[in-house]
Amino acid sequence: MSTCYIPENLTEALEIRKKTHAIPLAGGTDLMVQAKNGIGVNPSFPSPVMIITNLKELRGIRVEDDGTLVIGALATSSEIAHDERVFFHIRKAASQMGAVSLRNTATIGGNIANASPKGDLPQPLILLDADLVLSSIDGERTVKVDDFITGAKKTLLRDDEIIKEIRVSPVKATHYFYHKIGTRKANAISKLSLSVLVDVEEGIIKDFRASSGASGDKVKRSREAEMILIGRAVAEIPSYVDEFTNAWNRILSPHAMPEYRRESTKRMLKDFLLKIAEGAEPGIYE
Ligand SMILES: Cc1cc2nc3c(=O)[nH]c(=O)nc-3n(C[C@H](O)[C@H](O)[C@H](O)COP(=O)(O)OP(=O)(O)OC[C@H]3O[C@@H](n4cnc5c(N)ncnc54)[C@H](O)[C@@H]3O)c2cc1C
């Protein structure tokens, strides 16, 4: 039998976490699968468990006066997918996770802390340079999602900490792209996911970002490859598109992604960029 704590507020939870290092349990959609022992047998955990679903401090989605989007760690994929204030790429990724029943239970904090290379939410969060607020009884610290996830199933979470919220500053963009490929339409773990955003002002690419999920030990993003396009005129895209897609291909792990998936990624990037070069209207492309 595992010891189970059910704190009523964040302070209580952080005290328990500091004292016992109890594992936080949010939706349980990853944790219960990892701890299962077979049909009819109680799950077993390596240490005490702390059910965190009562923590109001980790709930809700809000937008602050400066436009910063704040998503509580306990926000479910359904809540995120249905909230129009959430930035496009995050909303879209949340809407394509698992099946409806899973989306009603799976939380964003759990998806990040689980740090699966195939997890859907870290990918758009890394695209948008999102921050995580980590709470401990000794205070709070803020870490970029990209730094927090250090590899497959590896994070910087200390055993006295809980993810409190995710903070995303607004990013200016004119053209958006998101695509996820799974083995089937619903309830499918990513085989490939790609987010791109482009900001074009008076024919010049002012900002360009791309991030790939399920493509290595963690989400792939390359500021170096992005710089190949930033500052170029839109009309120059056809001259640089192969240099960019080849640079992008080099950061994708051949081990995690077979050739055909890397080729699909290259093709999606190229098609999207060439559409922009041809004068595609600002908007969402999928
Ligand atoms: C059938 C099925 C389909 C799935 N499909 C997808 C899919 O399409 N895409 C996808 O990305 N994932 C998918 N998943 C995986 C899973 O649902 C997600 O990763 C989900 O977001 C995990 O959230 P949770 O609240 O259930 O986490 P939990 O299982 O409660 O916890 C997961 C991990 O995060 C830690 N944790 C949770 N909350 C916090 C917190 N606030 N602070 C610190 N640590 C915390 C836990 O200790 C644990 O280590 C699927 C799972 C199943 C079973």
**Given a cut of 90, is residue 169 above it in pLDDT?**
yes
| Closest ligand 1 atom to Cα of 118 | 11
pLDDT value for 183? 66
Encoded tokens for 204: 């010049």
Distance 123 CA to ligand 1 centre (A): 15
Helix (H) or strand (E) holding 226: helix 223-226
Helix (H) or strand (E) holding 51: strand 49-51
The model scores a pTM over 0.85: yes
**Given a cut of 70, is residue 102 above it in pLDDT?**
yes
Q: What is the pLDDT of residues 125-138, one digit of tens each?
A: 999 999 999 999 99
Distance 29 CA to ligand 1 centre (A): 5
Q: Domain spans of the chain?
A: 4-168, 175-285
110 lines ligand 1 (CB under 6 A): yes
In angstroms, the CA 210 to CA 222 distance is 8
Encoded tokens for 8: 């009523």
Encoded tokens for 271: 């098609």
Residues paired with 140 in a beta bridge:
135
Distance 106 CA to ligand 1 centre (A): 6
| Closest ligand 1 atom to Cα of 112 | 34
Q: What is the mean pLDDT of residues 130-159?
A: 98
Cα within 13 Å of Cα(255), Cβ side = 4
In angstroms, the CA 244 to CA 77 distance is 32
Q: What is the mean pLDDT of residues 160-187?
A: 90
Contact, 229 vs 244, CB < 8 A? yes
pLDDT value for 1? 66
94 CA to centre of own chain: 9
Q: How confident is the model at residue 260 (pLDDT cuts 50, 70, 90)?
A: confident
Decide which of 3.30.390.50, 1.10.287.130, 3.30.9.10, 1.20.200.10 is the CATH code for 175-285.
3.30.390.50
**Given a cut of 70, is residue 30 above it in pLDDT?**
yes
**Of 18, 23, 30, 135, best ligand 1 pocket probe by most atoms within 8 Å of the beta carbon:** 30
Report which DSSP code applies to 148: H
Distance 105 CA to ligand 1 centre (A): 9
Residue 238 three-state SS = helix
Residues paired with 24 in a beta bridge:
50
- Which are the contacts of 18, defined by CB distance < 8 A and separation ≥ 6? 136, 137, 160
How is domain 4-168 classified at the architecture level of CATH?
2-Layer Sandwich (3.30)
Angle, in degrees to the nearest 10, between helices 259-277 and 237-251 = 150
Burial per residue of 69-100, b for 16 or more beta-carbon CB atoms within 10 angstroms, e otherwise: bbbbbbbbbbbbbebeebbbbbbbbbbbbbee
pLDDT value for 123? 97
Q: What is the mean pLDDT of residues 144-172?
A: 98
In the block, which residue shows the tokens 């080729």? Answer: 263
Cα within 13 Å of Cα(145), Cβ side = 31
pLDDT value for 121? 98
pLDDT value for 254? 84
Distance 138 CA to ligand 1 centre (A): 26
In angstroms, the CA 214 to CA 174 distance is 26
In angstroms, the CA 275 to CA 84 distance is 26
Dihedral (Cα; 31, 72, 151, 87), 10-degree rounding = 130
Contact, 285 vs 273, CB < 8 A? no
Encode 155-173 in three state secondary structure. ECCCCCCEEEEEEECCCCC
